[in-house]
Structure 1
Amino acid sequence: MKKTVFILSLAALTLSSCGSKKKIAELEQKNKECQDLLNSTTVKLNMCLSEKEALSKQNEYLKQNNTDLINSSKELTVLTTKGAQNLEKSLESLKEKDLKIARLQDALTKKDSVTLALVTSLKGSVGVADPDIEVNVDKGVVFISISDKLLFKSGSYVVSDKAKEVLAKVAKVINDKPTFECMVEGHTDNVPFTRNAILLDNWDLSVKRSTAIIRVLTKELGVKPAQLIAAGRSEYIPLVDNNTAENRAINRRTRIVVLPKIDEFYDMIEKEMKNQKK
């Protein structure tokens, strides 16, 4: 009977892990698509600026040409029909380019404003002046990184009382923004973990630490479970080389990735790109 229960538990854990990995892969793919689209948008913006400059020069030439015509003939009181039409077309073209540039700049500015506002909000809400807590942006994603020495004892996945004080402030930020999703990532150093009845390796430890934090956020601090994603990254995304005790301490961390309405921003950029093609 015990053996059956153990097998069922292991199967459930495997299925849960696969689901988390799939969700993480989907989010990372979505973020990559968003970054690729942003790069394409920036290229389009630079092309529009170049075209605007060329049209401005053409417009100045047309204005000067009309001035010369007026000076060469005192009896000519209006621009020639052809000159006026060319000038009108040039001005209309400039207005269209200005409108496209304004749309692209507005979309990019909105994205930057959302990111800046989120970082400022998180820093103000977390409000912890500690070198072991960092709020920053990495590849367009806002995150809170917390050193494991504030969260866990060595080799443990039991959340410390000091960590709960920090997590309470993080929970307030999440609860104030119910449309956000947050992925809680556990990271370890590369020191092999001593296998026991519960943990097999650093993969297990990193995932257990992630789920331990999620339990505190949901069961003790009122965060909606649907907003949270558990993820374990083990030792494979170090910040620095694991060649000293100090560096290994840096790599042992928990990262809370904040994902604010990525789909809405993606749709906004896509809409502006379609408007340019019309």
Structure 2
Amino acid sequence: MFKKSIYRFTGVALLGTCLLGSCTTAKKYNDLLAQKVKLEREKADCQSTLARTTKERSDLSKQVTELTEFRTKLATDTTLLGSTLRKTQGVYADLSDTYDKLIRNHDRLLANSALESSKLSKDLARREDELKALNETLMRNRSQLDQLSTDLKSREERLNELERILAEKDKAVNALKNKVSNALLGFNSKDLSVDVRNGKVYVSLSEQLLFKSGSTKVDAKGQDALRKLAAALKDQQDVNVVVEGHTDDVPVSKGTVGMQDNWDLSVLRATEITRILTGAGLAGTKITPSGRAQNVPVDAAKTAEARQKNRRTEIILTPKLDELFQILEGN
């Protein structure tokens, strides 16, 4: 029954080790199992030696008994002739010597047998303790493997759920991009672009589409684009909107009313665009205006063309990831 339990446990241990891919756990388990087999074999050898010694002791005792009886019979036999007596006495002397030797051997064997028996008993007790400790270690390892298997299954379930949510978010982001692109089809691609980056939809609008140089007021064509964008986003309840104003590295003209530098220019433009979007029906709770000044250029060159690219407004559409965050916090 114990061996069957060990085999069943060994199978479970090997399976748990494979699931975890942990070479260290498998080696430790195999070493422990090998020690157990070795101890059981040594225990069997000790028991066999003890049985053999006990049998030899019994045989010697039987021989001593037989010789003692024979000696008694010779000593009491007074009917034999002198020559027979002398021969008998010689034989008796030999037998006595043999008897004495046998007695000494018997005593020595008894002493050795007792010593060996004591030693074997101690070895057996020690090996039984080792086997008990080994079984306890195996049980602990089995419990650890069961716990690891449970944890692994739970993590796989969370991972599958996470992958499902991410796939849904990617699908929603692509659908949002297509919807926004279709709403803004009538505008020049040089002035307006829609693309997906890092799981977000970026609507990039050039300064030429929205503002006159140094101005914070949106042109009529830019207002048209922003209203169409707001109309496309009205029913997107799970999308947050960030309006980022970007400038080139040329400082604003001195004396410009209400502006000290490009920070003011980028923030005021983002705020103005936010007003247009909310005025077109987009909820103000979903929009965050921000200014980045000249700090996030798309082209680091100092040419007029590079600076024109950098003067832009980016409207960043980010799907809410509440469900995803709940799963991550659960880990």
Same fold (TM over 0.5): yes
How big is the shift at 1:177?
Answer: 1.4
Equivalence for 2:181: 123
Equivalence for 2:136: none
Which string of whole-angstrom CA distances, capped at 9 and with x for unpartnered residues, describes residues 179-208 of structure 1?
Answer: 422111100000111132311110110011
Which of the numbers 209, 218, 230 marks the counterpart of 2:278? 218
**Structure 2 unaligned blocks of 5 or more:** 1-17, 23-145
Look up the equivalent residue of 2:222 and give its one-letter code: A
State the TM-score, normalizing by the size of structure 1: 0.59
**Structure 1 unaligned blocks of 5 or more:** 1-49, 55-88
Aligned residues, how many? 185
Equivalence for 1:153: 212
How big is the shift at 1:238?
Answer: 0.2
Tell me whether 1:106 sits opposite 2:161 in the alignment. no
Moved more, 189-198 or 127-136: 127-136
CA gap of 1:212–1:103, structure 2 versus 1, over 3 A, is closer
What is the CA–CA distance in structure 1 between the aligned matches of 2:268 and 2:158, rounded to whole Å? 49
CA gap of 1:52–1:168, structure 2 versus 1, over 3 A, is farther
CA gap of 1:222–1:105, structure 2 versus 1, over 3 A, is closer
Which string of whole-angstrom CA distances, capped at 9 and with x for unpartnered residues, describes residues 199-226 of structure 1?
Answer: 111011001101111121223x122222
Which string of whole-angstrom CA distances, capped at 9 and with x for unpartnered residues, describes residues 93-131 of structure 1?
Answer: 9x9597566434323322322222222222122324522
CA gap of 1:256–1:109, structure 2 versus 1, over 3 A, is same
CA gap of 1:204–1:187, structure 2 versus 1, over 3 A, is same
State the TM-score, normalizing by the size of structure 2: 0.50
What is the CA–CA distance in structure 2 between the aligned matches of 1:158 and 1:169, rounded to whole Å? 18
Look up the equivalent residue of 2:218 and give its one-letter code: V
After superposition, the CA RMSD in angstroms is 2.7
Look up the equivalent residue of 1:201 and give its one-letter code: D
Tell me whether 1:134 sits opposite 2:193 in the alignment. yes
Which of the numbers 227, 235, 241 marks the counterpart of 1:168? 227
Equivalence for 1:29: none
What is the CA–CA distance in structure 2 between the aligned matches of 1:124 and 1:137, rounded to whole Å? 15
Equivalent positions of 1:184-195 (< 5 A) are 184-195=243-254
**Helix, strand or coil: the match of 1:243?**
coil
Compare relative contact order (CA 8 Å, sep 6+) and give the higher one, 1 or 2: 1
Look up the equivalent residue of 1:189 and give its one-letter code: D
What is the CA–CA distance in structure 2 between the aligned matches of 1:224 and 1:142, rounded to whole Å? 18
**Helix, strand or coil: the match of 1:144?**
strand
Equivalent positions of 1:41-52 (< 5 A) are none
CA gap of 1:129–1:52, structure 2 versus 1, over 3 A, is farther
Which of the numbers 185, 192, 203 marks the counterpart of 1:144? 203
Look up the equivalent residue of 2:305 and give its one-letter code: E
How big is the shift at 1:133?
Answer: 1.0
Moved more, 222-231 or 120-129: 120-129
Equivalence for 1:206: 266
Residues 190, 242 of structure 1: 8 Å contact kept? no
Equivalence for 1:178: 237
Runs of 4 or more off by more than 6 Å in structure 1?
none
Equivalent positions of 1:1-278 (< 5 A) are 96=153, 102-131=160-189, 132-196=191-255, 197-219=257-279, 221-271=280-330, 274=331
What is the CA–CA distance in structure 1 between the aligned matches of 2:288 and 2:162, rounded to whole Å? 32
**Helix, strand or coil: the match of 2:209?**
helix
CA gap of 1:102–1:214, structure 2 versus 1, over 3 A, is closer
**Helix, strand or coil: the match of 2:325?**
helix
Which string of whole-angstrom CA distances, capped at 9 and with x for unpartnered residues, describes residues 47-104 of structure 1?
Answer: xxx95999xxxxxxxxxxxxxxxxxxxxxxxxxxxxxxxxxx9xx99x9597566434
CA gap of 1:98–1:201, structure 2 versus 1, over 3 A, is closer
Residues 111, 265 of structure 1: 8 Å contact kept? no
How big is the shift at 1:139?
Answer: 2.3
Identity %: 35
Moved more, 253-262 or 156-165: 253-262
CA gap of 1:188–1:126, structure 2 versus 1, over 3 A, is same
User: Which structure is larger by alpha-carbon Rg, 1 or 2?
Assistant: 2
Equivalence for 1:12: none
CA gap of 1:268–1:119, structure 2 versus 1, over 3 A, is farther
